[in-house]
Amino acid sequence: MQEFDMHERRMWGADGVPAAYRRGFAGLCAGAVPALLDRVAAGPGLRLLDVGTGTGTVAAVALARGAAVTAVDAEPQMVKSASERLPEVPVSHALLPELPFADGEFDAVAANFVVNHVADPVAALAELRRVVRPGGRGAVTLWPATGNHAMDLFGEVLDAVAVERPAFPSVPVAFERTPAGLAGLLTEAGWQQVEATELSWTYRVDPEDWWAGPAGGVANIGLVVTTQPPSVLAALKQAYDRLAADRLDADGLLVLEARAVLADGTR
């Protein structure tokens, strides 16, 4: 578990990652936010905790719905980015499975694509449950077992330049990334009335903004790209431009299909 956590800190803690993440990857993850917040009935006066806020996407949408939002993230740079974006939202540094809040402090909790970034998902989900009042709601998302197809383009780029993919640490506690698998984690963590489903959406993004993620060191693909010598970096960008051209719409935007698993439960 320590190796996995160290990898996560390395992956998300590098300089410039929040800005690069917000340019492209944050918009992709935002596709799941409306359904996520619907599951916890985010609206006026709801005391909502946004766990793993990143650059503040969930918090911003919940705030626009009238919720009273508090947010946390495991990376100090993300905390700074979200705080600057949303000065009216208290954002603090916290690392699951330990949150700096009292039992039952919130009406609801949301965690968008967080479960796959913690070493012990059940312990993390139990901690989310702890900070929600009895009868309150929690909702989480993750990328499915079949993978995040919006990221397939990057895999094709690595293949085109014959760049080897290193073996990165995986979540130590194995579970099925399916609706049934995620529902099982919530149930094991003590959540009641658990329901899970699969989401799908289309994400359109400027191709330069999408490339900004890997080029800026975001996620595992960013660790691969940013550790290449200049000649390989240039070849990767050329391959990306060529392959991305086949996925552009009439407005010159990349068209990417995304899917996710969403589960919710009651405290």
Q: pLDDT tens per residue, the chain (267 residues)?
A: 688 888 998 889 888 999 999 999 999 999 999 999 999 999 999 999 999 999 999 999 999 999 999 999 999 999 999 999 999 999 999 999 999 999 999 999 999 999 989 999 999 999 999 999 999 999 999 999 877 788 999 999 999 999 998 988 888 888 999 999 999 999 999 999 999 999 999 999 999 999 999 999 999 999 999 999 999 999 999 999 999 999 999 999 999 999 999 999 999
**Tokens standing for residue 239:** 């391959």
Helix (H) or strand (E) holding 47: strand 47-51
For residue 252, what is the DSSP state? Answer: S
Contact call for residues 251 and 186 (beta carbons, < 8 A)? no
Q: What are phi and psi of 7, to 5 degrees?
A: -65, -45
The pTM score is 0.95
Number of alpha helices (DSSP H) and beta strands (DSSP E) in the chain? 12, 7
CA 181 – CA 254 distance, rounded (Å): 31
Nearest 5°: CA angle at 177, between 176 and 182? 85
Helix (H) or strand (E) holding 201: strand 192-205
CATH of domain 2-148+173-202+258-266: 3.40.50.150
Q: Are strands 132-142 and 254-266 parallel, antiparallel or unpaired?
A: antiparallel
Nearest 5°: CA angle at 102, between 99 and 106? 90
| Burial status of residue 70 (CB atoms within 10 A of its CB: 0-12, 13-18, 19 or more) | buried
